[in-house]
Amino acid sequence: MAAVRNVLISGASIAGPALAHWFGRNGIRAVVIEKAPSRRTGGYAIDIRGKAIDVAMRMGVLDGVRAAETGIGGAAMVDADGRVRARLASGLVAPEERSLEILRGDLVALLHEAAPEAEYRYGTSISALEDRGDRVEAVFASGGTESFDLVVGADGLHSNTRGLAFGPERPYRRFLESYVSIATVPNHLGLDGEARLFNTPSRVAALYNTPRAAGAKALLLHRTAVESDVDRAAPAAQREHLREVFAGMGWETDRILADLDRAPDFYFDSVTQISMGAWSKGRTVLLGDAGYCPSPMSGQGTSLALVGAYVLAAELAARDAPEPALAAYERRMRPFVAANQGIAAPGLDFIAPKSAMGIGARNALLRSGPVLRLLSRFDSRLGKAAEAIDLDRGRA
Ligand SMILES: Cc1cc2nc3c(=O)[nH]c(=O)nc-3n(C[C@H](O)[C@H](O)[C@H](O)COP(=O)(O)OP(=O)(O)OC[C@H]3O[C@@H](n4cnc5c(N)ncnc54)[C@H](O)[C@@H]3O)c2cc1C
């Protein structure tokens, strides 16, 4: 007998629908609520690596993922005039057969298709949770109160569920001293399945195009030790902040800044990890970025969400009470999460060196033979982290 029969999942992006898929297979009712008014489409390129590829295969979505790969063939590091200074071939940073890249919206669509039994409710949120010991009562912002055996917070970095069950975000935030923005802009450079990156110390501007989407994605990232609340400000204030930081930087940045005003999907946030002493409290548990965001700089957030959903569902199916299942989920996931969170700092140093010398050295390395050894060191760290969990162990 499974530990739970009736579950509320908050968040319908990656972690939520992935968990709903397994619940559907295990005959567990899943209600998935989403703050956005409808399923979110579009978005940036994300990676599925290592054990997450095995999970995608077990879910039956791997062929769909492969068919929707972004096809971005590598990146060129350019100078202020757009001249190529170095190249990063795809497949250098992670072994190609254990790493797939897909647009976030494409993955979300595949995961929703893979969880047809789930009951999706859009434009709503949990406004209060009352843990009664043998069930949780959830009050919805859209009205009404319902009882569930378990509530799963799969609502991302700034998780509402985490706030309700564990309190404010501050003690769990690990600010990686940078802010990132991404948006769809016109493809002025005519990029065709490729990426361009331009650096000045502590700043990077990048543009990439994938045949899977119109236009280009523009990414702006800057490093700063000063943690402000600009990530919680209105989009207009965030764009103004970006103008202050990036105006006059060179290359395409002024045009990107102008285009941001018209971008349909402007995204801005701090580069932050979530680090918590426990991921569950009573009958509320956190999954994906909500519990253990590794930050975009690890490139592993999607994989953690997919693997986390698999492990959580397996433990709930294998036990007849939620407490031991939640404890086993945490025990199995902790080392995997720690290894993948550990990749973010080197990732940040690689994409946004802090000095002109660091930028020159990275580009020189990319042009030289020893880089292969250097990258294979990073590669083995990333590759190892992506594989650092046994999907089948500890299910008894
Ligand atoms: C710029 C950028 C680049 C990235 N690049 C990569 C990459 O290359 N590789 C990689 O693996 N990962 C990458 N990531 C990270 C990846 O997107 C996340 O780790 C992944 O999406 C986590 O999935 P999730 O389902 O846990 O959370 P999310 O995808 O954040 O989803 C949370 C969902 O909850 C919803 N929600 C929020 N609040 C509420 C509420 N109150 N009530 C109901 N629903 C709510 C949200 O609308 C959203 O749909 C990147 C992230 C960013 C921002």
Q: Which atom of ligand 1 is nearest to the CA of 161?
A: 41
Which residue owns the Cα nearest ligand 1 atom 21?
Answer: 302
Q: Separation of 184 CA from ligand 1 center, angstroms? A: 17
For tokens 């680090």, name the residue: 275
Residue 70 has pLDDT above 80, yes or no: yes
Pocket test for ligand 1, best of 32, 46, 180 (most atoms within 8 A of CB): 46
What counts of helices (H) and strands (E) characterise the chain?
13, 18
Phi-psi region of 111 (alpha: psi -120 to 50; beta: other; left: phi over 0): alpha
Q: Quick one: pLDDT at residue 352? A: 96
The model's pLDDT over 107-135, given as tens digits with 9 standing for 90+, comes to 999 999 999 999 999 999 999 999 999 99
Asked whether 303 lines ligand 1 (CB < 6 A), one says yes
DSSP-assigned letters across all residues of 109-128: HHHHHT-TTSEEEES--EEE
Token pair for 325:
């299942």
Q: Separation of 214 CA from ligand 1 center, angstroms? A: 22
Decide if 45 is inside a domain.
yes
**What is the amino acid identity at position 10?**
S
Q: Quick one: pLDDT at residue 382? A: 85
| Mean pLDDT to the nearest integer, 168-187 | 97
- Report angle CA 381, 106, 69 to the nearest 5 degrees: 55
| Best-predicted range by mean pLDDT (87-91, 238-242, 381-385) | 238-242
User: Higher-confidence residue: 106 or 347?
Assistant: 106
The strand pairing partners of 10, in sequence order, are: 33, 153
The model's pLDDT over 302-336, given as tens digits with 9 standing for 90+, comes to 999 999 999 999 999 999 999 999 999 999 999 99
Residue 55 has pLDDT above 90, yes or no: yes
| Mean pLDDT to the nearest integer, 220-244 | 96
Q: Quick one: pLDDT at residue 58? A: 98
Q: Separation of 27 CA from ligand 1 center, angstroms? A: 26
- Residue of 367, 369, 350 lying closest to 358 (CA atoms): 350
Residue 198 has pLDDT above 90, yes or no: yes
Helix (H), strand (E) at residue 63: helix 62-67
Q: Quick one: pLDDT at residue 396? A: 42
Strands in 145-148's sheet, in edge-to-edge order, are 126-131, 136-140, 145-148
Q: Quick one: pLDDT at residue 346? A: 87
- Residue of 206, 175, 207 lying closest to 191 (CA atoms): 207
| Mean pLDDT to the nearest integer, 10-36 | 97
Strands in 203-208's sheet, in edge-to-edge order, are 84-89, 74-78, 195-200, 203-208, 216-223, 173-185, 267-274
Decide if 34 is inside a domain.
yes
Per-residue HEC secondary structure of 159-195 comes to: CHHHHHHHCCCHHHEEEEEEEEEEEEECCCCCCCCCE
The model's pLDDT over 259-285, given as tens digits with 9 standing for 90+, comes to 999 999 999 999 999 999 999 999 999
Q: Are 123 and 7 in contact (CB under 8 A)?
A: no
Q: Quick one: pLDDT at residue 378? A: 55
The one-character DSSP state at 224 is: -
Decide if 11 is inside a domain.
yes
Which CATH number covers residue 153? 3.50.50.60
Beta-strand pair 126-131/136-140: antiparallel
Q: Separation of 13 CA from ligand 1 center, angstroms? A: 7
Residue 144 has pLDDT above 50, yes or no: yes
Q: Separation of 80 CA from ligand 1 center, angstroms? A: 32
Decide if 120 is inside a domain.
yes
Residue 90 has pLDDT above 70, yes or no: no
CA distance 44 to 106: 10
Q: Quick one: pLDDT at residue 127? A: 98
Q: Are 227 and 357 in contact (CB under 8 A)?
A: no
Q: Quick one: pLDDT at residue 77? A: 96
Residue 92 has pLDDT above 70, yes or no: no
Q: Quick one: pLDDT at residue 369? A: 63
Residue 383 has pLDDT above 90, yes or no: no
CA distance 154 to 12: 8
**What is the amino acid identity at position 228?**
S
Pocket test for ligand 1, best of 19, 21, 35 (most atoms within 8 A of CB): 35
The strand pairing partners of 130, in sequence order, are: 137
Domain that holds residue 42: 6-72+105-169+274-346+382-386
| Mean pLDDT to the nearest integer, 275-302 | 97
| Mean pLDDT to the nearest integer, 172-200 | 96
Decide if 325 is inside a domain.
yes
Mean pLDDT of the chain: 93
Decide if 366 is inside a domain.
no
Token pair for 183:
């948006």
Phi, psi of 142 (to 5 degrees): -80, 0
**What is the amino acid identity at position 36?**
A
% of the chain beyond a pLDDT of 70: 94
Q: Quick one: pLDDT at residue 374? A: 60
List all residues 6 or more positions away from 226 whose beta carbon is below 8 Å from its beta carbon. none
- Residue of 312, 265, 270, 336 lying closest to 103 (CA atoms): 265
Q: Domains in the chain: how many in total?
A: 1
Q: Separation of 157 CA from ligand 1 center, angstroms? A: 7
Phi, psi of 162 (to 5 degrees): -60, -45
Decide if 229 is inside a domain.
no
Which residue owns the Cα nearest ligand 1 atom 27?
Answer: 156
Q: Which atom of ligand 1 is nearest to the CA of 36?
A: 47
Decide if 377 is inside a domain.
no
